[in-house]
Amino acid sequence: MVRVMLDLRSGVEENAERYFEAAKRARRKAKGAEQAIAAWRLKLGEPEAAELPRAAPTRLRKREWYEKFRWCRSSDGILMVAGRDAATNELLIKRHTQAGDIVFHTDMAGSPFVVVKAERRAVSPAAMEEAAQFCASYGRAWKNGLSSLEVFHVSPEQVTKEAQPGEFLPKGAFMIRGKTTYHKPLLKVAIGIDREGRAMGGPPAAIMAHCAAAYELLQGNEKASSVAKELQRLLGGKLDELLAALPPGGCRLGRRQK
């Protein structure tokens, strides 16, 4: 705690001037002390401060565009991106979905849109099922304690913001037109740290394909912050990334996945 002594016989300006002059004297003394230290270092043959080795600056990893969403890679390496809420669902479909991608969604309100970024690759049946599981597990079905959920997939051309006459589509909601293909995956989530040191959450088969170790998450009522801290202790990684990779609603830590 810094103590300031004031002369009650003097005014504010006089007290301020007195401390200003004292500060100037202290700076002059400090500069003189630095010069004296530098002179002694030269006499003793020590390098000057300017010549001392400096720690290399920490290089910040460039964040990819999809890291603002939920994301993971299928077991065979295809990027799968999911909305976090109505706003990111809207952004994902409008700005980051192209022809050739595959869009997954459910009939349950509160579910994310999941976009499989095929990038002109054939999407394997395993990747399709992992995308369906990703979609089912990161929505309201997890909060409601369901064990499985019907999920459908369509092409981007079937997803539109044009509502039926007299209807209104809120942010994050879209109309689906044409044929839909349904899946019924189990709700399962695992979280690990990928080879780039990033937290990745999603279907266990997908996570284990890209992470040296991972932990299964189970439906529960533990605080997300507590689960994320325990995962950080067990796996390492950044706490904010681990927290962002958790499914919505409560959860608890399950078995280590090897």
Residues of the chain with pLDDT under 70: 1-24, 26-59
Q: What is the pLDDT of residue 257?
A: 87
> Exposed, middle or buried: residue 110 (CB in 10 Å: 0-12, 13-18, 19+)?
middle
Residues 6+ apart with CB under 8 A from 91: 83
Q: Select from 65, 217, 195, 214 the least CA-distant residue to 138.
A: 217
Q: What is the pLDDT of residue 50?
A: 46
Q: What is the pLDDT of residue 52?
A: 44
Q: What is the pLDDT of residue 33?
A: 64
* Four-point Cα dihedral 182, 101, 82, 253, nearest 10: 70
